[in-house]
Amino acid sequence: MTFRDLFTLNTEAAAPVIQIISHETLRIRACCIQAATDLNRDLYAWNMPQGLRKYDFEDDSWESEDEGEQPQEALEWLVESSQDQSEFILLLEDFHHFLNEHTLTSRLRAFAIAVASREINNVTVVLSQPAPLLPAELEKEVQVMEMPLPDVDDLKTLMLQAKQRYELDDRDYQESPALIESALGLSTSEAQLAFSKAACQFKRLTESEIPFIVKEKEQVIRKSGHLEYFHPKATLDDIGGLDNLKSWLNRRRQSFTEHAREFGLETPRGMLLLGLPGTGKSLAAKAVANAWQLPLLRLDMGKIYGGIVGQSEANIRSALQTAEALAPSILWVDEIEKGLSGMQSSGASDGGTTSRVLGTFLTWMQEKEKTVFVVATANHIAQLPPELLRKGRVDEIFFVDLPVQQDRKEIISIHLKGRNRLDDFSSKELDELAIASKGFTGAELEEAVKEAMFLAFDEGHQLNKDDILKAIQATSPLSLTMAEMIQDTRAWAKGRAVAASSAEPEALDLSSNKKPRLKQEGENPFVKK
């Protein structure tokens, strides 16, 4: 059932007040026009600049009424007209600014009660507003609906509008699915502007304009501040080790196709990657998007929270709605535990905001119908709420451990190959480097190769094994500074998560007398040796 059909159903079922959450003013008006046509009712609309207007179905235009310029007058007109047994729909646009006034709220509540008691028949009030603000008095009387972003059919209409406006020839206009889908995730006004700019600049609307439309969309998504659009270049071959994880992802490569659905396969829901920083979790998220050829959206949980009551919940819903509009897509939630810290004390510290945001996110993960694959990463397991770890939210939980010797050899090879230096190293030299770098994460190995490049350049010779060994020896890896935490994480993950690598993890050297030092730490002249 489409949104328009559901709206018409609510109206026919005598819902007294319907609240539509959306910025899409034109589409909301279109829904009201359709419902009024189907139910043979009159249609009125009110907003502050234009006052009360009546819709003329024959001329497809709005005619101003002599009364109802102020919100108080509009509700008085509503009550009087309802008592005359008139049948109509009244659309109140941006009326939420006035809902904090007790008189207006009471009138709306009295109207809703009158509809419920059959004193008033076939009259519906529609509240059109961008944010889900509603006073407590009306919470039980109002049917809340969230309008989705424009779908393929809506975007097709907007493309045709741009064609007519700029008088494009048929040869310069191509109604291709790829071009239309490139605008998914944009609002009506944003899509209108994107198509208009493309038609204005290039004098055509074809598949050649897809990069331009995508660029416009990226700008809009970034502007929201909650999501970031990525163009990942990394592939699964750029990840050293993690063979179990890569096999699992490869088996699901074709599961988003129509053939997979016909076979009876369920679309993958997502995965949770747990492990130390620098072990390749974020890289895996980027590689998945590239391997599956799906758009990658990064959700910053820290930017979700706002200072206004209800803003955080609205932000998370808006972000998830955008991700669904781009479906099939991949939603990457990096370091999810940082955005959900303070869950235990949420009720006392932030009025329950964190709990509500988490609840919204978890409910969406379990109930979502659109093809959005979630890749969540976390460094600190202890900070994760237990609700997130329950089966059913995601398809699998992977534990990403420190790379073993063979994995380290592969990682070093990948970074040398990326710098056109792999041919300068023998397999034996790579083995020696892998042995010397025991306990290093993938990120630390990359930094060691970078540092070695600087050493070689500074000394005026080509990169060799000794340069990388010097860089390795000068680094104190996380396995030394966080050895106890790694041990605890391994103990927790055993039996609770799937190992991302099939290799047996290497034992940590807990007896080392080497004092770990941060790279940026220098010698303190005031410390006695």
> Taking a C-beta distance cutoff of 8 angstroms, is the pair 409, 434 a contact?
yes
Report the candidate in 397, 410, 426 with the shortest Cα–Cα distance to residue 489. 397
Kindly state the tokens that stand for 213: 């439309």
**How far, in Å, are 36, 42, 89, 191 from residue 54 at the CA level?**
12, 8, 10, 28
Task: Say what the pLDDT of residue 89 is.
Answer: 96
pLDDT by residue (tens digit) across 366-392?
Answer: 888 888 999 999 888 777 777 777 777
Q: Residue 523: is its pLDDT beyond 70?
A: no
pLDDT by residue (tens digit) across 8-57?
Answer: 999 999 999 999 999 899 999 999 999 999 999 999 999 999 999 999 99
Amino acid at 517: R
Report the candidate in 108, 149, 147, 151 with the shortest Cα–Cα distance to residue 16. 108
Among the residue ranges 53-57, 269-273, 520-524, the one predicted with the least confidence is 520-524
**How far, in Å, are 34, 54, 338 from residue 59 at the CA level?**
15, 12, 56
Rounded distance, CA 263 to CA 259, Å?
6
**326 or 228: whose pLDDT is higher?**
228
State the Rg of the chain over Cα.
29
The CATH homologous superfamily to which domain 3-146 belongs is: P-loop containing nucleotide triphosphate hydrolases (3.40.50.300)
Residues ≥6 apart with Cβ < 8 Å to 395: 268, 269, 270, 271
Amino acid at 272: L
- At 314, the pLDDT band (50, 70, 90 cuts) reads confident
Q: Mean per-residue pLDDT for 291-304?
A: 85
pLDDT by residue (tens digit) across 124-171?
Answer: 999 999 887 888 889 889 999 989 888 889 999 999 999 999 999 989
- At 458, the pLDDT band (50, 70, 90 cuts) reads very high
**How far, in Å, are 129, 138, 336, 349, 393 from residue 100 at the CA level?**
14, 11, 36, 26, 38
Query: Angle of helix 3-12 relative to helix 25-38, nearest 10 degrees?
Result: 50
CATH 1.10.20 fits 405-480, yes or no: no
Q: Residue 453: is its pLDDT beyond 90?
A: yes
Neighbours of 458 (CB within 10 A): 9
Among the residue ranges 31-40, 475-484, 518-527, the one predicted with the least confidence is 518-527
As a whole-number percent, the residues of the chain with pLDDT over 70 amount to: 93
Q: Mean per-residue pLDDT for 474-498?
A: 86
pLDDT by residue (tens digit) across 67-80?
Answer: 778 999 999 999 88
Q: Return mean pLDDT, the chain.
A: 87
Residue in the structure block whose two tokens are 């970031």:
228
Rounded distance, CA 326 to CA 329, Å?
6
Report the candidate in 417, 494, 511 with the shortest Cα–Cα distance to residue 463. 417
Q: Residue 518: is its pLDDT beyond 60?
A: no
Q: Residue 349: is its pLDDT beyond 60?
A: no
Q: Sign of the C-alpha dihedral, residues 468, 473, 478, 479?
A: positive
CATH classification for the domain delimited by 236-400, as one of 3.40.50.2300, 3.40.50.300, 3.40.50.20, 3.30.540.10? 3.40.50.300
- At 100, the pLDDT band (50, 70, 90 cuts) reads confident
Q: Mean per-residue pLDDT for 415-444?
A: 94
The structure's pTM equals 0.72
Q: Residue 318: is its pLDDT beyond 90?
A: no
Longest dimension (CA), the chain: 95
| Strand 372-378 versus strand 270-275 pairing type | parallel
Domains 3-146 and 236-400 share a fold: yes
pLDDT by residue (tens digit) across 174-185?
Answer: 888 889 988 888
* Residue length of the chain: 529
Q: Residue 342: is its pLDDT beyond 60?
A: no
> Taking a C-beta distance cutoff of 8 angstroms, is the pair 416, 425 a contact?
yes
Q: Residue 334: is its pLDDT beyond 60?
A: yes
If DSSP codes are grouped into helix, strand and coil, which group holds residue 273? strand
**Chain centroid offset of residue 458 CA:** 44
The 372-378 sheet, strands edge to edge = 227-230, 296-299, 329-333, 372-378, 270-275, 396-400, 498-499
Element (H, E) at 261: helix 258-263
Delimit the domains of the chain by residue range.
Answer: 3-146, 152-224, 236-400, 405-480
